């Protein structure tokens, strides 16, 4: 289980360690006793119980057998998978290609009613054009993915955009002004993407804000993130994909979104910044 910068992931690991330690105590065993029954060095059981080393699924099976608590095995392995899923390195997430990684996110988008997305790097995926998405995913594939299924992955992302038009969902998008001027797709495709923002921004269920560049901001740009309802935050970092569910952490991202939203401009002012970016591209 990769080390995550999130306390949500750390708390999930600690909760699993606490449950394993509880099984040990309920069986009247010490950590050294469990290690002996499992054929491990005593330090291994100590590291597992103190959440310093995450157990594998096989470790959990052996632990439960040693404690005479095999009926807990399936539940504990499920907890392990949940903790592992909070922090996923890109290589692991994308080892089968980009299409599968895109498909895996669809259920979350379908069950969410309120979306908040902030981006300091790129236009958010739900409001990207085909050409822009193709350029972004092609760059990802070249950098870190052996499988070339970019066309299929683009199709999945385009199909996912239907959530913009279905149900009673609400969307708030914030982008840094620099996003309007930087791209991977070339000037022509970027101009098309910026024009698409006018269309998306006119939808009644969409708020589109642009955070202007300036030397005296009260809040500097941060990593891009999505907030799904008030339940989950996803963050894309250089090394991997982070899922946050701890209420205090979700709240911290919600507070950051609100602060950045206060800095943003909307409506005619946002359209003016988009138009200026388009003009600068010729």
Q: What DSSP assignment string belongs to 82-103?
A: HHHHHEEEHHHHTTT-HHHHHH
What is the torsional sign of CA 80, 82, 84, 86? Answer: negative
- The SS3 of residue 203 is coil
> What's residue 62's pLDDT?
96
> What's residue 184's pLDDT?
93
271/132 Cα distance (integer angstroms): 19
Cα Rg for the chain, rounded, in angstroms? 23
Q: Which domains does the chain have, with CATH numbers?
A: 7-87 (1.10.260.40), 94-280 (3.30.870.10)
Q: How many helices (H) and strands (E) does the chain have?
A: 13, 7
- The answer to whether residues 251 and 155 touch, using CB atoms and an 8 Å cutoff, is no
> What's residue 3's pLDDT?
46
Q: What is the mean pLDDT of each run of 10 residues along the chain (282 residues)?
A: 56 88 95 95 93 90 96 85 74 90 93 97 97 97 95 97 96 98 95 98 98 93 96 89 84 96 98 97 88
CA atoms within 13 A on the CB side of 140: 28
Using CA atoms in the order 98, 105, 81, 94, what is the torsion angle rounded to 10 degrees? 10
Give the list of residues 6+ apart from residue 56 with CB closer than 8 angstroms, or none: none
Helix (H) or strand (E) holding 238: none
Crossing angle for the helix pair 130-144 and 150-160, to the nearest 10 degrees: 140
Crossing angle for the helix pair 42-49 and 7-26, to the nearest 10 degrees: 120
């Amino acid at each position: 289980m990769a080390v995550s910068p999130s306390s949500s992931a750390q708390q999930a690991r600690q909760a699993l360690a606490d449950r394993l330690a509880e099984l040990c105590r309920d069986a009247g065993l010490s950590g050294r006793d469990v290690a002996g029954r499992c054929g491990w060095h005593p330090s291994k059981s100590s590291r597992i119980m103190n959440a310093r080393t995450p157990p594998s699924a096989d470790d959990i099976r052996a632990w439960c057998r040693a404690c005479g608590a095999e009926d807990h095995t399936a539940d504990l392995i499920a907890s392990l998978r949940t903790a592992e899923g909070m922090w996923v390195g890109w290589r692991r997430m994308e080892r089968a290609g980009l299409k599968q990684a895109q498909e895996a996110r669809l259920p979350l988008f379908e069950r969410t009613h309120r979306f908040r997305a902030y981006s300091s790097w790129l236009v958010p995926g739900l409001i990207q054009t085909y050409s822009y998405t193709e350029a972004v995913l092609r760059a990802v594939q070249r950098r870190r993915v052996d499988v070339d299924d970019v066309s299929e992955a683009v199709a999945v992302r385009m199909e996912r955009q239907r959530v913009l038009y279905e149900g009673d969902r609400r969307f708030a998008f914030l982008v840094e002004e620099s996003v309007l001027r930087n791209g991977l797709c070339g000037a022509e495709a970027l101009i098309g993407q910026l024009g698409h923002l006018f269309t998306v921004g006119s939808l009644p269920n969409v708020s589109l804000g642009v955070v202007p560049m300036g030397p005296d901001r009260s809040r500097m740009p941060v990593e891009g993130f999505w907030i799904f309802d008030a339940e989950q935050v996803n963050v894309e970092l250089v090394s991997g994909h982070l899922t946050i569910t701890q209420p205090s952490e979700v709240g911290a991202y919600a507070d950051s979104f609100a602060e950045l939203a206060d800095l943003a401009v909307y409506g005619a002012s946002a359209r003016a910044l988009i138009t200026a970016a388009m003009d600068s591209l010729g």
